[in-house]
Amino acid sequence: MNLDDYTKAGKIASEVREIARNKDWVGKTLYEICETVESEIKSRGGSCAFPVNASLNEIAAHYTAEPNDPKILSSADLIKIDLGVHINGYIADTAVSVSYDPESAILVEAAEAALKAAMGIVKQGTKSSEIGKTIQKTVMQYNLKPIGNLSGHSLEQFTIHAGKSIPNMWSIGSFSLSTKEAYACEPFVTTSKGLGFVREGKTKNIFGLVSRKKTKNDNANRLADFIWENFNTLPFALRWITKSFDEKEARASLEELIKNKIVRAYPVLNEAAGQRVAQAEHTFIPTESGALVTTL
């Protein structure tokens, strides 16, 4: 636990999230959106803990722009911008949803309200199941549904999902919050027509190194070294690699690393009935009387 670095990362993350919230992204490509948000993180002295997620509409999470991704944000879209900042591996994970379509604005409002309600009850000893219950109750007051199979998580140095889950609805099995750990809380909300859970999609554009073993392919080994040196075991995007490697060669090497289980690919997560999803997220460290919300 390094409170100073957690606090620094949180301050940068919250400043950049507010820029993301207030900027008019309509007409911009997903590539421009992700690259702009990431450059705001770096210009403040932070490092990206993972590629900025720019997930549209029914995609709940885990979409980041492809190299030169041409997809343009329209005035009918709902976008979730999820960003991570780290200082020496200590991570701030935060997200904002922006609905340019007035009809989906209620989803954003409910996600924000659920996050606020959850932040109101967290302190040392709070049971994770209580957080889930609070989120679910708040979302249901809007006649909407939480996404049951997405959850918040404990954080450790250089590890975003450190093993413990903070549920978005009441669930069996629980742990108590500790002042020695940082956590992310992230309610996801969908419409009453949604199934309230996500399924993995075909698209995979976020990756992470899981092993340092060598392959017989020199290009693949060179790429694995580059990933280790630049991103450690944190998630990365292809567009972070194509700044230093030829795209065609990088794609082939990445395939080789995935095939050899040296790199893991994370699929996008889609609402199971194709309904729109909104998300809000904060990182916090419990105290005896409440919590230090690092990304407030």
Answer yes or no whether residue 82 interacts with Mn ion by CB under 5 A: yes
Among the listed ranges 32-40, 72-80, 89-97, 263-271, the one in contact with Mn ion (CB under 5 A) is: 89-97
Pick 36 or 159: Cβ nearer Mn ion:
159
Instruction: Give residues 243-282 in contact with Mn ion (rule: CB under 5 A).
Output: 281
Among the listed ranges 109-117, 183-191, 213-221, 238-246, the one in contact with Mn ion (CB under 5 A) is: 183-191
Pick 66 or 82: Cβ nearer Mn ion:
82
Residue that has been written with the tokens 């889609």 in this structure: 270
Gyration radius from the chain CA atoms: 19
Question: What is d(CA 4, CA 47) in angstroms, rounded to the nearest whole number?
Answer: 15
Pick 60 or 241: Cβ nearer Mn ion:
60
Tell me which of 73, 147, 150, 184 binds Mn ion, using CB under 5 A.
184
The single-letter code of the amino acid at 116 is K
**Is there a catalytic annotation at residue 153?**
yes
Classify residue 103 by its DSSP letter: G
Question: What is d(CA 142, CA 43) in angstroms, rounded to the nearest whole number?
Answer: 38
Among the listed ranges 107-115, 182-190, 197-205, 288-296, the one in contact with Mn ion (CB under 5 A) is: 182-190
| 48 neighbors 9 (Cβ within 8 angstroms) | no
Pick 97 or 104: Cβ nearer Mn ion:
97
- Burial class for 95, CB neighbours closer than 10 Å (0-12, 13-18, 19+): buried
- Residues annotated catalytic, as ranges: 82, 93, 153, 161, 186, 281
